Amino acid sequence: MTTSPANARPAALITGASRGIGASAARAFAAAGYDLLLLARSGDSLEQLAAELRNDHLRVETATVDLADPTGIAAALEALLSRGLQPTVVINNAGAAYTGSLATMPLERWQWLLQLNLTSVFQVCQAVLPALRQRGGHIINVSSHAARNAFPDWGAYCTSKAALASFSRCLAEEERQHGIRVSTLTLGAVNTPLWDSETVHSSFDRRAMLSPERVAEALLSLAQQPSSQIVEDLTLMPAAGVL
């Protein structure tokens, strides 16, 4: 793994870190010896997680930011990075879903979903690229098998994840010359609070879904690949297939 001269340990920046995949990833990376920069909308939940993970050997910095609001992202990241902890791994995990037909989806919901699932990733990457270019690093974008498939009433979500996959490939091509690697973790259904949100209506068997802990293991495995190689896209699906 790549280490930063500014701190003895590698550091991971994780968005959507207060619950689900993000919280599990924070715990996995902390156990592997990474310092952490954690972002989430829920400040209370984020601070509870940070308090759980902090110890004499682990540094955890947090920032409360709503990635659905494009106006506050750059300033929040600038303030977080100014505390002296520079990431060597960046995990863009935050996202949302919406179920409903494209014909009747309100424009504000479309814009909200695209902001969270695509544009906020673009904004986070822009904010961290100057630091990553100085020492090299690894960006991992969490996507979905919906990027490659079409599902009724999931059209907006499929579109956002397909665009994210394309963004990841383009970013990888542009930043390779700067020693920055870009991976996509493509996931099947994961048992997270996403399924409890008011914008999602489904009858999937959550017991058959992937667990956030298994996804966190996959993220850590990607991050720990030698700097001489890159797993461009890792797909992880429930054994039951598409639910």
> CA torsion 127→131→134→139, rounded to 10°?
-70
Q: Which two tokens stand for residue 230?
A: 């890159």
Separation in Å, CA 112 to CA 15, 41, 170, 234: 17, 14, 23, 27
Tell me whether residue 89 is in a domain.
yes
Tell me whether residue 170 is in a domain.
yes
In 47-88, DSSP assigns E strands to: 60-64
Number of structural domains the chain divides into? 1
Tell me whether residue 1 is in a domain.
no
Mean per-residue pLDDT over the chain, rounded: 92
CA distance 185 to 236: 8
Tell me whether residue 46 is in a domain.
yes
Q: Which two tokens stand for residue 157?
A: 């979500």
Token pair 């068997």 is found at 205
List the strands of the sheet with 89-92, edge to edge.
Answer: 60-64, 35-40, 11-15, 89-92, 137-144, 180-187, 233-236
Q: What is the pLDDT of residues 126-163, one digit of tens each?
A: 999 999 999 999 999 999 999 999 999 999 999 999 99
> For position 152, which CATH number holds?
3.40.50.720
Tell me whether residue 6 is in a domain.
no
Q: Which two tokens stand for residue 32?
A: 């592997």
CA distance 64 to 27: 18
Could you tell me how many residues make up the chain? 243
CA distance 149 to 178: 33
Tell me whether residue 3 is in a domain.
no
197: closest CA among 136, 109, 120?
Answer: 109
Q: What is the pLDDT of residues 113-131, one digit of tens each?
A: 999 999 999 999 999 999 9
Secondary structure letter of residue 72 according to DSSP: S
Structural domain boundaries enclosing 159? 11-236
pTM: 0.92
CA distance 47 to 62: 7
pLDDT of 4 strictly over 60: no
pLDDT of 62 strictly over 80: yes
Tell me whether residue 182 is in a domain.
yes
Task: Summarize the confidence of residues 213-236 as an average pLDDT.
Answer: 97
Tell me whether residue 187 is in a domain.
yes
Q: Which positions are catalytic?
A: 157
